[in-house]
Every structure is written in structure tokens, then in C-alpha cells.
Amino acid sequence: MSITFCTPTWRRLAVIVLAGLMLGLCAPAEAAVNWRDPSVRRGTAIMANGEVAGFVKQGADVQLGTPNYDWWYGCSPTSAGMIMGYYDRMFMWNARTYYHLVPGGAAELSTFGGGGPFIANDAIASTGHIADYWVSYGHAGPDPLASGRTLPDDHDCLADFMGTSMAAHGNSDGGTSFWFKGSGAKTYPSDIVGWAVAGDDGMYGMCDYTDYRGYGSGNPQTDTNFYTQLLPGKDPDGDGNVSTTGFTFNDYKTEIDNGRPVMIHIEGHSMCGYGYNDDGANETVYVYDTWDPNGQNPGQFQWGTSYPYGADTLGHWGVTCATMTGGSAAFILREPPLWWHMPIEPPWWKFAFRWDLRTPQWDWAPYEKQVPPRDLPNGPNTTSYNESTISKRGDIEYDPEVGAWGVRSQSKEGYIDVFLENIADPTLVKEVFLQFRMMTEGDAECEVSLDTESTADVSGGEVKLVDMEGEWGIYEAYWDIRPQPGWEMITFKLTTGPDGGAVHIASIDAGTFCPEPATMGLLALGGLVALRRRRRT
């Protein structure tokens, strides 16, 4: 028996992202049915190149019955949003990062339960998309086109790219079309181009959107990392021809085992498959169904059978798969430095703080530890006296291109200040340890300094490059301060020169130790270091 998930951190993602230019392509030369009629839910058509393809329109004929769903103007773009959000959050655990897929920060883990606004929802179906293409669920047109956007050039979300709710593409409000080969062979974007339905197909829209966001192959028309495929023995378009090959449970397990969530298609609805349970007797698929945070079953069914929706069961007929490419190297926020875990006994005390600067919100508290608990003047086992804060000034901004805070462009100057508060104690020595992740490019510089009370004697301060994680350098520094002052301020001065460049900091770990002077040895090092790179490091 084996139970596999892509990763526990991606559960309940309702997420996806900005889109861009949509290709305007010709209609099929001849159709067995009028597939642009929103009332026609399935069928076959003779395509522009003479091939015959089937189609099914998802979502628009399903009545959503639960109030706690994260469906957002279409089940298919919502499910695609979960897949994109999964990749968007990869910077938290993977060696590659795709954090531009959901602009505005890390994609949320869930949009259930109220709250918001969610960047996921705006990325799945933006306010412009809603104004242009939405009237009411199942509305067959005409579309209001009320946003004032220049269409399709200003398309900016998954629903735009996937043709969701667009009457001109044969979809009523909430609906998305997926084309496929009735034989069960894989349908790639190149097939969609050959059939002249690129603007009408959800899978092609996912591929095109990914390319717009700066990832993928760079050419959706020849990309083989996206495809739609029937399961064996299925006839979802109702033409009487059953697929002779197709996507199997073993294929699905392979995708999950390789960290790739899969879009699951059932009758009239799309979901996101994120795991499985293969106990030898059952072939259980775990899905997020866009209707309920726990799913209807909850959230599972047997491969190739049916998924429950109220009193109905919706047959499983196919999948859409996506393999993300083109991501940039990313660091993993690994275990903290060794000194977080050092065994400390009195008369030592240790405080440790961590800031993760990879989100666009500058309003967090650090992760904090104190070892061991200590009786302090304001009460036993308290840490209220030891406050730490982080602040920014000058030209410091969040840069979505690298997903961190810093400065970019010509002649910029900004500061990040880390303030550590103590209780001054003439009987103790203070050791301060620092580790941070930094990336520089072009004419850019970072200076790191420590300031404290004028009565304290400070030594140390040499900053050393100790490791590389992709393009990010890991730097460490150490200071010895005697006696223990009431506070320390570590300042990062980030500057760019007239030739232009960039320098960003993605995480900061600060740790302080308070031993008695007899246990210490001095380090006679510098007090200020300038880190300068003329190329990306």
C-alpha cells in the first residue's frame, strides 16, 4: 500500500495568475455540430486541417450547491489556478522557482472560509475578466465587454486565456472547453493550433498563460509539456467511438510521484488531483473539487469511475497534464545555522530570530527562540524585555522579479535595520551571530554594520560567503560585544551605482548569546565590510 501526495503544503490552493496576449485563430473549416453554440455541451468537429476532434465543455451545466466553495468564475480556471499556485509556492521547498505565476506574493494555500481579497482569485478571474465576460452562471451571451480593456491584448488572468465564459468561443458563463483526440492519444498545443481552436481550448490557454508569465518553452504552439488525454474506454463526446488507449492510473501516479498535480475531468466539471492511495485493491484519487474545502466524498474517488455531486455521480473521462519548465534557480529556506541548536546551559542564554523577506508584505514578527527560560526582573520565564524589530528606509522595495526586498536600477540607496533589545548587564558578554541570503548583479553593493551603546567594546564584523544556493549567496558574520549593552542595531546598506544593478536580501537569521566573560575569547576582526559584485552571484 502506498499513499502519495505532491506535497502537504499545497493543500487547498485556489490560485492562479495573470495572463497575456491571446492568439486569434480561425474557426474549424466544418463542424459536425455547431460547437460555438453554448447550449451544445459535447460533440465532434472536422478541424481546419481535416482531422476530426471531439470536445467537451466543462463547468457551465453544474449547479454549485454549497456556500463554502472556492470556485471562482469557472471550475477549470480555478483548478488550473491550484496547479499554478502549487508551482508558484515551489520556492518554499524546491530547487526551481516559478513565483511569477501568481503575482503579488506567494499564492495562498486556501481561499475557503472568507477573508480576502485573494491574489489567487484575481489571478484566476480578474475584475476585468468578470466585467467583460460575466453576467450570471450559464448565461449564453452576448458578453458585456464592459471593462474598457483592449481585447484580447489586455487579457490578464487564466480565465481570459482559457476562453472561460466567452460567448465568442462557445462557452456560457462559467464554462471552459477542452478538445481531445477520440482515440485516446495525447492532444498537445500543436494539435490545437492545427485544429485552429487555440483561443477556444482550456489546455492551450494554460500553456499560453504560462508562457506569458515568463516560463514554459517560449513557444506554446510547439510545447509538449501540456496535453489533454482521455482515459481508455471513454466516449465523452458521445459519438459512439470509444478510446482504445489513454491515460491510466499508473500514468497518474507517475505524475504525482514526480511532483506534478493533474487536472481531473469528470462530466461537466474540472478538479485538481493532488495525490493517490494505491493499496493494491483500490485506485483512489485525491482531489480538490472547488466545491468544498474537504471535497464531496470527501475529496476522493476511484480512478476511472464517478465522482459524487449531491445525488448525482459524474463520470471520470480525462485529464489535462502540465509539466512546468523555465523556472529560475531558487534557494531553499534550509535549517537555521548550527548555533540555533547548540546545547546551552546557564550561565549562557540564547535568543534567535528569523525573518523571511520573500513575501511582499512588510508586516511580520520574527520566528523567535529563547533557550533556556530565564527569570528576569519583570517576571519568571519571560522574553518581553528582548524585543526584535526589522524596518526599512530609503529605496528598499519588494522586487517581484527575484521575489525579495532590495534595490534595483541606477543610483539607489536603501537600508534594512534589525534592532535587538537587551537588558544591559556589566557581568555578561554579548555574542551576535548573523546569517543572511543575498543576491547582487551589476553595479551594486551591500554594507553590513553593527551599532550599539558607546560604552560597549565591539569586535568582529567580518562577513564571509559560506555557501551558494542557486544564485543566492549565504553570508555569515559574528560580533563580540563587552559588556552586554542595552541594544544592538544591525544595518544592511544596499546601494546601486550609476551603471545600474540590483542587490536583494531574502532572509535574515540573527542569534545572540550571553555568556559570562570568563567563558569567552575575543575575536579581533573588522567592524564594517563592503560586499561588492559586478555580476550576479
Q: What is the pLDDT of residues 5-52, one digit of tens each?
A: 332 222 222 222 222 222 222 333 334 556 666 556 567 777 767 777
C-alpha span between 109 and 130 (Å, rounded)? 23
d(CA 213, CA 136): 29
Percent of the chain topping pLDDT 90: 36
pLDDT of amino acid 278? 83
SS3 66: coil
On average, the pLDDT of the chain sits at 76
Would you state the pLDDT for residue 445? 93
Among 503, 392, 528, smallest CA distance to 448 is for 528
Eight-state DSSP code of residue 336: P
**pLDDT for 297:** 66
d(CA 287, CA 128): 29
Which of 60-74, 175-189, 328-342 has the least mean pLDDT?
Answer: 328-342
- CB contact set of 459 (below 8 Å; sequence gap of 6+): 479, 480, 522, 523, 524, 525, 527
The answer on pLDDT for 369 being more than 70 is no
Q: How far is CA 149 from CA 55, 154, 206, 310, 533, in A?
A: 29, 6, 21, 39, 43
Q: Output the pLDDT for position 347.
A: 42
The ranges assigned to domains in the chain are 2-322, 331-533
pLDDT tens-digit readout, 251-270? 998 888 778 899 999 999 99
Residue found by looking up cell 511532483 in the block = 259
Instruction: Identify the CATH assignment for 331-533 out of 2.30.30, 2.60.120, 2.60.40, 1.10.3470.
Output: 2.60.120
Q: In this structure, are residues 4 and 275 in contact, taking their beta carbons and an 8 Å threshold?
A: yes
What pLDDT score was predicted for residue 262?
Answer: 93
pLDDT tens by residue, 516-535? 554 433 322 222 333 333 22
